[in-house]
A and B are shown apart, each in its own frame.
Chain A
Amino acid sequence: MKKIILSAVCSALLAPAAYAGKVVMEGSTTILPIAQKAAEVYMNKTPGSNITVRGGGSGVGISSIIDGTCDIANASRAIKQKELDNAVKKGRELKAHIIAMDGIVVVLHPSNEIQELSKEQVKNIFTGKTKNWKDVGGKDLKIVPVSRDSSSGTFEAFMEYALDKKRVRPDALVQASNQGIVNFVAQTPGAIGYIGIGYLSEKVKAVRYNGAEATKENVLKNKYSLARPLFMYTVPNPKGEVKAFLDFLKSPEGQKLVEEEGFIALKKN
């Protein structure tokens, strides 16, 4: 009974913020360029709408939607069991929408001659077993691994698929976003990092992972093992502007934006 009253009061306080036409998106920095671009195009098409975008990482987005402070949680990983439990405890149900596909790319400094790395090698590098590039066939140069904060969905996905949930070495540097990793790797000759495919540029060099190159075809054909869907989480029955925006993003026009930002559109079926 107390909970009902409390949530009624809280919704009353939140009501001014929940008026139609407004959507608040928060979370993954991987999805950020897609969210940003789509928000702009959608707002141009739909006068009266207002889409707000916040970064912070997938964990931040999910935590926000569970606590009720955003409408759409951008997440580059699936929701964790712990988070689901927390949501249930708070009486919040969530629905996942897949809005794009992504491949996590392992990147090096352009001057690094290494062309490919196996899963075992990547795992050893990031867990600290391998410390020098010469141990994997490269120059005699200290390996400088760069990783993400725990709030990053890319980090969680990488940890699960590439590292088999082992701990990243504690002295790996930490950047706050995909772009941060790109910037860092681009200016650090010994660096190794991981980013969403949409962030790939000539500033860094992508290596083949377990024999497969990080390309859209390989992701769609399930040949690239570090592939993952990109999610947007909402309440179970999104209405109004939230629904309209999600529909837009899943439509061919929206998916074209996904491709433009360098990510992989959903297969049409």
Chain B
Amino acid sequence: MNKRFKQALGFFIVKTLVLAALTVLAAILIFLFAKGAGIISWDFLAKPPENSMTEGGIFPAILGTFYLVFFSVLFSLPPGLACAIYLNEYSPKGWFSGIIRISINNLAGVPSIVFGLFGLAVFVKQLGFGVSILSGSLTLSIVILPLIISSTQEALMTVPQSIREASMALGATKWTTIRRIVLPQATPSILTAVILSIGRAAGETAPILFTAAVFYTRELPKSLFSEVMALPYHIYALITEGTHPETQIKIAYGSSLVLLFMVLFLSMAAIRIRQRHRSHYDKIRR
């Protein structure tokens, strides 16, 4: 009886904790949704801020986030992919690539403000790029680079060695093997990683605090050297520096909701791709 009781109690506690955690998380999302849904409209999404930022919309912030994410992926994807491919396919597997792998994993855990400080010191000030899309996306690209490298490496590692050997045995060169056999199999996982990196880059505030984001600008960015408004910074700025809080708090809620939707949508897309790939791959394996 004692054993049975312990089990019941134990699992009850587990279930309660899980329920508590889920409830709190759901409550947060519902709270934000309830407070923010009212302000979302086509105008809100498509128009710039008006009247001391108490009215109008957040279009420049959405566009700014889009530019930052686009360029950060553009800057980090080629080197990241190349690095992962080289490390996994070409370089001799020894302690050297082991050290590199450990270093990359460690850099994935570095606090994002450290990247922001680096970006401010080097890109904004020393290299003179100023507060701009360029500085911001370079900083963000360093944030997501370790993720891209390590996920791509993992994706490549799951491709069985036998497939590579079979391909080479049939006369294909190493690069052809990589390009036509290995990469296509790893692509869905890589795609998943890229999408998750996009979500990460879209939501990060610390790296863009002083490298790209501004409180208010009316014109849409004209070049890589333009500064931008960005969604995560907009939320932060409105709630900490906002000059007319009663009206601006609603805009902050709305911006949070838009950012949430964006990121959750991207994550869901990534998960779906991975699920479809897994079932497809399982079918092949059979």
Contact = CB atoms under 8 A, between A and B. Distances in A.
Direct contact of A and B (CB under 8 A): yes
Interface stretch (B147-155, B159-167, B240-248): B240-248
B82 to A, nearest CB: 26
B121 to A, nearest CB: 10
Contacts of B214: 24, 52-54
A36 B223 contact: no
B68 to A, nearest CB: 16
B241 A32 contact: yes
A32 B237 CA distance: 12
A176 interface: yes
Interface in A27-51: 29, 32-33, 36-37, 39-40, 43, 50-51
Nearest to A21: B219
The prevalent SS among residues of B at the interface is loop
A30 B227 CA distance: 22
B226 A55 contact: no
A36 B242 CA distance: 11
18 contacts: A9-B128, A13-B127, A16-B224, A17-B226, A29-B241, A32-B243, A36-B52, A50-B219, A51-B218, A53-B216, A68-B130, A69-B125, A177-B240, A177-B241, A179-B241, A179-B243, A179-B245, A180-B240
B127 A40 contact: no
A2 B23 CA distance: 62
Interface string B219-245: 100011111000000000100111111
Contacts of A37: 52
Interface of A: 9-10, 13-14, 16-17, 24, 29, 32-33, 36-37, 39-40, 43, 50-56, 67-70, 175-177, 179-180, 182-183
Interface of B: 50-53, 124-125, 127-132, 210, 214-219, 223-227, 237, 240-245
Contact of B216 (A9, A52, A182): A52
Given A69-B124, A179-B242, A183-B245, A13 B129 contact: yes
Given A17-B226, A40-B52, A183-B245, A54 B128 contact: no
Contact of A54 (B52, B129, B215, B242): B215
Contacts of A36: 52-53, 215-216, 243
A53 B127 contact: no
A79 to B, nearest CB: 19
A60 to B, nearest CB: 8
A33 B52 CA distance: 7
Contacts of A182: 245
Given A33-B52, A36-B52, A67 B125 contact: yes
Contacts of B51: 40
A55 B237 CA distance: 8
Contacts of B124: 67, 69
Contacts of A176: 240-241
